[in-house]
């Protein structure tokens, strides 16, 4: 994992080296003061060189000004380095998430991913910045101080040298407990983020069912679990800091005690004991930094481990190394005896064989859960078939790039997603390089243009989170406008008019007819009245094609389609207003 982290250091190596240079300067100043003080007490003061003494002290004071400047650089540019590393990792993580397929998002909650993209990476920033800096200052200062101590009095230095490894060993052992506790905290934080995201997104549903208490109880469970995990982390951290403070106190006590003994034996003088104490106070701070580094390292590596868990996930729909660009010339689609199951579970589609001629409109109908949407999601290769093959103009879709395939397929899904942006940008999402006039034309075709002009800011109207400021029909028509703008070779309409009233549906149907001219189209529909004009109607039940033909042929056959059609016609007669 450290190799992974260091890889992100390379683009910002100048800032990193500047941070380390300042860390070295700080360590040098901290080591110089005790050494200079000892020489002043041995030579300058006894020889009454007072002018030189104060010049030297003035230089020491200026060195501390330089030390302050170095700390400013480390605080500002060091954190800048850290945030650059964080943003690079976040960008790579987000791009990797975009390569993962529908099955990953089927089983992964949004709040958990948000936690990994934000909170976990913040810990990495602290590690990237403070880790190398604190470690370098600590090692240089401790090693330099011990070197000077051994030169002064090796016996006393040996006492200090023996205490430090004991302290570091205990620190490392306790760090493991902190690391595990930190991972548990991050898992619980992801859980609570997930519950918050779910609760806030479903707040209107919660109020509609008067289930605020249920949501509060669910949130409280996650909140208490997080509190419990945090409590365990703080217990480990408390033990860690208690041990640290004990050693911070016992080192000076040991130096004074053994130093006093050496003075009694005539092997040490007061000046050297004072110098020893200055060196001890010099590396007490670095030892604290090393202890803090252990804490930062535990949290940062726990965050990096959670990031790597995601980065290690491979897309289930893999692209061949020699995949070619798909160029749709005719639009013929051959669904050749395919089968499909989600993650190895029982099959959803069984030996489906369907062939669409260029420009043909095929309606896919049947009861909910029969596999209609799954079939249409296999065409743009959101999932891979587990048996058989799908070909476009004779080319297996597994032999072409996913980008070129999906650029050739336009989809209006049953669940419309509207971004928290303006209407203009939501429509332009269908083709990001489209001009304003092309966006206007797409809106006209989708029968949403007049509605937009009646809004206060027209096309610059902000639609709110998930399009909350729009009606269901308006959201659906904006998604339809995206497809008009995209102008794909193949169309998949998955209940594209499900949120529209009967009158608006009739108005927009003409536009759909125009859009589908000359394009191979698959239309999933529950309202059979909307697909009577289809070139062919396919009835899917329990993952199998049970009927196939035109509207008239299927009515004459008096099978499943005829039963569905008569039921809907009866319902329309009972509710003539179409509601």
Q: Could you tell me how many residues make up the chain?
A: 579
pTM for the whole thing?
0.70
Q: Kindly tell me if the per-residue pLDDT of 211 is higher than 80.
A: no
pLDDT band at 369 (very low <50, low <70, confident <90, very high): confident
DSSP letter string, 8-59? TTGGGHHHHHHHHHHHHHHHHHHHHHHHHHHHIIIIITTTT-HHHHHHHHHH
Helix axis angle for 110-117 and 119-152, nearest 10°, is 30
Q: Kindly tell me if the per-residue pLDDT of 437 is higher than 60.
A: yes
pLDDT in tens, 130-189: 778 788 888 888 888 888 888 888 888 888 888 878 877 777 677 667 767 777 776 777
Collapsing DSSP to helix, strand or coil, 216 comes out as: helix
Residue found by looking up tokens 């034309």 in the block = 441
Q: Kindly tell me if the per-residue pLDDT of 239 is higher than 70.
A: yes
pLDDT band at 579 (very low <50, low <70, confident <90, very high): very low
Question: What is the spatial distance between Cα 229 and Cα 184, in angstroms, rounded to a whole number?
Answer: 6
Mean pLDDT of 44-72: 86
Residues 6+ apart with CB under 8 A from 193: 111, 112, 114, 115, 119
- Which range has the worst mean pLDDT, 8-17, 198-207, 276-285, 417-426? 198-207
Mean pLDDT of 10-17: 89
Sign of CA dihedral 120, 122, 123, 127: positive
DSSP letter string, 156-215? HHHHHHHHHHHHHHHHHHHHHHHHHHHHHHHHHHHHHHHHHHHHHHTHHHHHHTT-HHHH
pLDDT in tens, 459-473: 888 887 667 777 777
Write down the domain spans for the chain: 2-311, 328-408+525-573
- Helix, strand, coil % (nearest 5) of the chain? 65, 10, 20
* 354 within 8 A of 538, measured Cβ to Cβ: yes
In this predicted structure, what is the pLDDT of residue 515? 75
pLDDT band at 334 (very low <50, low <70, confident <90, very high): very high
pLDDT band at 575 (very low <50, low <70, confident <90, very high): very low
Question: What is the spatial distance between Cα 122 and Cα 114, in angstroms, rounded to a whole number?
Answer: 12
- Which CATH entry fits the domain spanning 328-408+525-573: 3.40.50.970, 3.40.50.300, 3.40.190.170, 3.40.50.720? 3.40.50.300
pLDDT, greater one: 13 or 503: 13
pLDDT band at 265 (very low <50, low <70, confident <90, very high): confident
Mean pLDDT of 363-375: 84
Q: Kindly tell me if the per-residue pLDDT of 389 is higher than 80.
A: yes
In this predicted structure, what is the pLDDT of residue 208? 58
pLDDT band at 578 (very low <50, low <70, confident <90, very high): very low
Question: What is the spatial distance between Cα 149 and Cα 509, in angstroms, rounded to a whole number?
Answer: 89
| Percent of the chain residues topping a pLDDT of 70 | 90
Q: Kindly tell me if the per-residue pLDDT of 198 is higher than 70.
A: no
Q: Tell me, rounded to whole angstroms, the distance of Cα 217 from its chain centroid.
A: 27
Mean pLDDT of 214-231: 77
In this predicted structure, what is the pLDDT of residue 65? 92
CATH code assigned to 2-311: 1.20.1560.10
- Which range has the worst mean pLDDT, 38-52, 263-277, 284-298? 284-298
Mean pLDDT of the chain: 81
In this predicted structure, what is the pLDDT of residue 577? 45
pLDDT, greater one: 371 or 198: 371
**CA dist 214 → 109, 191, 203, 223, 295 (Å):** 20, 17, 12, 14, 37
Q: Kindly tell me if the per-residue pLDDT of 482 is higher than 50.
A: yes
* 259 within 8 A of 273, measured Cβ to Cβ: yes
Q: 149-155 — which CB contacts under 8 Å span 24+ positions? A: 149/276, 149/279, 152/38, 152/272, 152/275, 152/276, 153/262, 153/267, 153/268, 153/272, 153/276, 155/258, 155/262, 155/267
pLDDT in tens, 101-116: 877 877 777 767 777 7
Closest to 21 (Cα-Cα) out of 61, 65, 74, 63:
74
Question: What is the spatial distance between Cα 19 and Cα 12, in angstroms, rounded to a whole number?
Answer: 11
Mean pLDDT of 383-390: 89
Question: What is the spatial distance between Cα 38 and Cα 279, in angstroms, rounded to a whole number?
Answer: 11
Strands 333-341 and 361-365: unpaired
Helix (H) or strand (E) holding 320: none
Mean pLDDT of 394-410: 89
Question: What is the spatial distance between Cα 382 and Cα 118, in angstroms, rounded to a whole number?
Answer: 27
- Dihedral pair phi/psi, residue 162, rounded to 5°: -75, -30
In this predicted structure, what is the pLDDT of residue 203? 65
Mean pLDDT of 510-522: 79
């Amino acid at each position: 994992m450290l190799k992974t982290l260091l890889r992100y250091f390379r683009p910002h190596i100048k800032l990193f080296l500047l941070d380390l240079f300042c860390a070295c300067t700080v360590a040098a100043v901290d080591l110089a003061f005790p050494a200079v003080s000892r020489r002043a007490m041995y030579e300058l003061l006894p020889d009454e060189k007072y002018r030189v003494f104060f010049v030297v002290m003035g230089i020491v004071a200026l060195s501390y000004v330089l030390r302050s400047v170095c700390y400013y650089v480390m605080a500002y540019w060091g954190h800048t380095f850290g945030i650059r590393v964080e943003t690079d990792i976040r960008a790579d993580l987000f791009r990797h998430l975009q390569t993962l397929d529908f099955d990953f998002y089927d089983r992964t909650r949004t709040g958990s991913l948000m936690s990994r993209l934000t909170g976990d990476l913040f810990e990495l920033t602290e590690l990237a910045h403070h880790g190398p800096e604190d470690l370098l200052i600590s090692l240089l200062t401790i090693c330099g101080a011990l070197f000077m101590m051994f030169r002064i009095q090796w016996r006393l230095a040996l006492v200090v040298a023996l205490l430090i490894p004991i302290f570091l060993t205990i620190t490392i052992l306790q760090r493991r407990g902190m690391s595990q506790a930190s991972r548990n905290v991050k898992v619980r934080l992801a859980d609570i983020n997930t519950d918050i995201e779910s609760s806030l997104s479903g707040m209107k549903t919660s109020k509609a069912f008067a289930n605020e208490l249920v949501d509060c109880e669910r949130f409280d469970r996650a909140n208490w679990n997080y509190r419990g995990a945090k409590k365990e982390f703080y217990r480990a951290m408390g033990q860690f800091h208690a041990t640290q403070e004990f050693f911070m106190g016992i080192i000076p006590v040991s130096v004074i005690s053994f130093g006093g003994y050496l003075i009694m034996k005539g092997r040490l003088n007061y000046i050297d004991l004072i110098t020893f104490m200055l060196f001890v106070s010099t590396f007490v701070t670095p030892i604290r930094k090393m202890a803090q580094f252990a804490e930062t390292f535990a949290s940062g590596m726990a965050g990096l481990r959670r990031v790597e868990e995601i980065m290690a996930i491979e897309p289930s729909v893999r692209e061949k190394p020699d995949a070619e660009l798909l160029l749709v010339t005719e639009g013929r689609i051959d669904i050749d005896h395919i089968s499909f199951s989600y993650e190895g579970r029982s099959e959803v589609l069984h030996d489906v064989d369907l062939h669409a001629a260029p420009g043909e409109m095929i309606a896919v109908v049947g009861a909910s859960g029969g596999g209609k949407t799954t079939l249409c999601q296999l065409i743009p290769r959101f999932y891979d078939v587990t048996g058989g093959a799908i070909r476009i103009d004779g080319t297996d879709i597994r032999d072409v790039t996913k980008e070129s395939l999906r650029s050739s397929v336009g989809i209006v899904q049953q669940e419309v997603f509207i971004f928290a942006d303006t209407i203009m940008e939501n429509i332009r999402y269908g083709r990001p390089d489209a001009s304003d006039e092309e966006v206007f034309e797409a809106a006209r075709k989708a029968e949403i243009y007049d509605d937009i002009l009646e809004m206060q800011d027209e096309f610059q109207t902000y639609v709110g989170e998930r399009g909350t400021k729009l009606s269901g029909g308006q959201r659906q028509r904006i998604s339809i406008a995206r497809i008009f703008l995209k102008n794909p070779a193949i169309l998949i309409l998955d209940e594209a008019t499900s949120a529209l009233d009967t009158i608006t549906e009739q108005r927009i149907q003409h536009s759909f007819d125009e859009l589908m001219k000359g394009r191979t189209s698959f239309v999933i529909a529950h309202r059979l009245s909307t697909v009577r004009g289809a070139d062919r109607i396919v009835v899917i039940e329990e993952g199998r094609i049970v009927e196939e033909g035109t509207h008239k042929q299927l009515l004459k056959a008096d099978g499943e389609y005829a039963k569905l059609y008569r039921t809907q016609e009866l319902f329309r007669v009972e509710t003539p207003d179409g509601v």
